[in-house]
Structure 1
Amino acid sequence: MALVPTASQTVGPYLHLGLTAITRDDIAKDASRGEKIVISGQVLDGEGKPIPDALLEFWQANADGKYAHPDDMQDKPLDGAFIGFGRMPTDKDGRYSFTTIKPGAVPGPGNSLQAPHIVVCIFMRGMLRHLYTRIYFSDEAANADDPVLSLIEDVARRPTLVAQRQQGKAEYHWDIHMQGFGETVFFDC
């Protein structure tokens, strides 16, 4: 039996009622290998105002660069305590925060390696299609050679995908700008 995706729908104004039980803001859990980090920020509209009812989903590889998914056939170890998936709504100020581990590099097109990154899917009221983007890390030298980042022709827009490490902490800050000045780069998937 093949599984098929359900139709895309907008997130209604009641997402906090129906999705609280499936919110997961600690992707790493205590037993996971790798550097434990916190990523936080805000989701902002075109005028820079917070969006209080967005829903963010995060997918990522483990510290060794392997996804906890049966389609990942790499000969790399799985981490049984690592989930690799999280989902959370923004709060009344459009803020989000989640704990994870810094992912390892994963294979990319043409036998290249992709820089460590996290895939993000954004749902929100009024949006008929969800949007996909990525979080890269400001302290990763591999960003310079990442095949996906290099697809972004406007070099000035690449930083919209890079979370900034907070000095002396295992914390990163990354805001999502839905449109307007500093609009985050979104991908057609």
Structure 2
Amino acid sequence: MSDPIAYRRPAPGTQPPLDLPAYGSTHKRHPKQPLIRVPNTLTETSAPHFDPAHYPVQADMSQVGGRAALGERIIVAGRVTDEDGRPLRGAMVEVWQANASGRYHHPRDQHDAPLDPNFEGRARLFTDAEGRYSFVSIKPGAYPWRNHANAWRPIHIHFGLHGTGFGQRMITQMYFPGDPLLPLDPIFNSTADEAARNRLVSTFDLDITRPEWALGYRFDIVLRGPAATPFENTP
């Protein structure tokens, strides 16, 4: 048996705070008292077991029933690793996003942008033996969100990564290079460290791009350590 790996905390400023004055809703939902560490039981550390047999893979958001969604088709791919570059194998990755018009396929989204019957905006996939993942989608649109005057969210895709227990879910967002809304967005800028913040921005990748079909973007995710990807639920 290999020696256990010592936990290395993220470097200061590389993870967003739970309460951010510029991000209005954090005032209502962040903890008001110091966090209490609750010991994990066997159930919490070993269950549930996520696998493709019980959670079917859905890795193409660009069509529904063979009918193509409206918008620019894209491919997003990358690796999920720990701080030493070791792959996270067999991890379930959930993805959700707005459509090309900037509207989510959800009843609570009342933005007056059009819905697309051929775009549901959600995917589920698993990393391979090298920690790699890939899915097809439509490039999402920006949308207003009423956080402040004339507030618009940059185009982004949400990621939820699941481990082997209920307490092992990490949530983050992927942004696109060159988006003029990034400097104005309080969620993106909630990570104080610029290098860490830029780890949330995908990179255009010609090797992922499929000729005459879709542009490709790379988004690698590091789960912990000083160079970890910023996550929304890190205390």
**TM-score range with shorter-chain normalisation?**
0.7 to 0.9
Letter in 1 for 2:172: T
Matched, 1:173 2:218: yes
- Distance in 1 (CA, whole Å) between partners of 2:198 and 2:166 is 24
What's the CA shift for 1:188?
Answer: 2.4
Partner SS state of residue 156, structure 1: helix
Larger Rg: 2
Output aligned runs, 1:17-166, within 5 Å.
17-19=53-55, 22-29=56-63, 30-108=67-145, 109-110=147-148, 111-125=150-164, 128-166=167-205
Letter in 2 for 1:46: E
Q: Which has the higher strand share?
A: 1
What's the CA shift for 1:76?
Answer: 1.0
Is the Cα contact below 8 Å between 1:10 and 1:129 reproduced in 2?
no
What's the CA shift for 1:146?
Answer: 1.9
CA separation of 1:152 and 1:186: change in aligned 2, threshold 3 A = same
Q: Which has the higher helix share?
A: 1
Q: Any idea what the Cα deviations from partners look like across 1:82-101, whole Å, max 9, x if unmatched?
A: 01000111111111000001
Is the Cα contact below 8 Å between 1:13 and 1:53 reproduced in 2?
no
Question: Which consecutive residues of structure 1, in runs of 5 or more, have no partner in the other structure?
Answer: 1-7
CA separation of 1:11 and 1:78: change in aligned 2, threshold 3 A = farther
Q: Any idea what the Cα deviations from partners look like across 1:87-135, whole Å, max 9, x if unmatched?
A: 1111111110000011001223224001000111110126723111001
Is the Cα contact below 8 Å between 1:11 and 1:54 reproduced in 2?
no
CA separation of 1:84 and 1:11: change in aligned 2, threshold 3 A = farther
RMSD: 2.3
Is the Cα contact below 8 Å between 2:50 and 2:92 reproduced in 1?
no
Count of residue pairs brought into register by the alignment: 181
CA separation of 1:127 and 1:159: change in aligned 2, threshold 3 A = farther
Provide the residue aligned with 2:37 in structure 1.
none
TM-score, structure 2 normalization: 0.71
- Distance in 1 (CA, whole Å) between partners of 2:122 and 2:47 is 19
Provide the residue aligned with 1:185 in structure 2.
230
Q: Would you identify which runs of 4 or more consecutive aligned residues in structure 1 move more than 4 Å?
A: 8-14
**Percent identity between the two aligned chains:** 34
What's the CA shift for 1:14?
Answer: 5.9
- Distance in 1 (CA, whole Å) between partners of 2:47 and 2:219 is 22
Is the Cα contact below 8 Å between 1:53 and 1:124 reproduced in 2?
no
What's the CA shift for 1:177?
Answer: 0.2
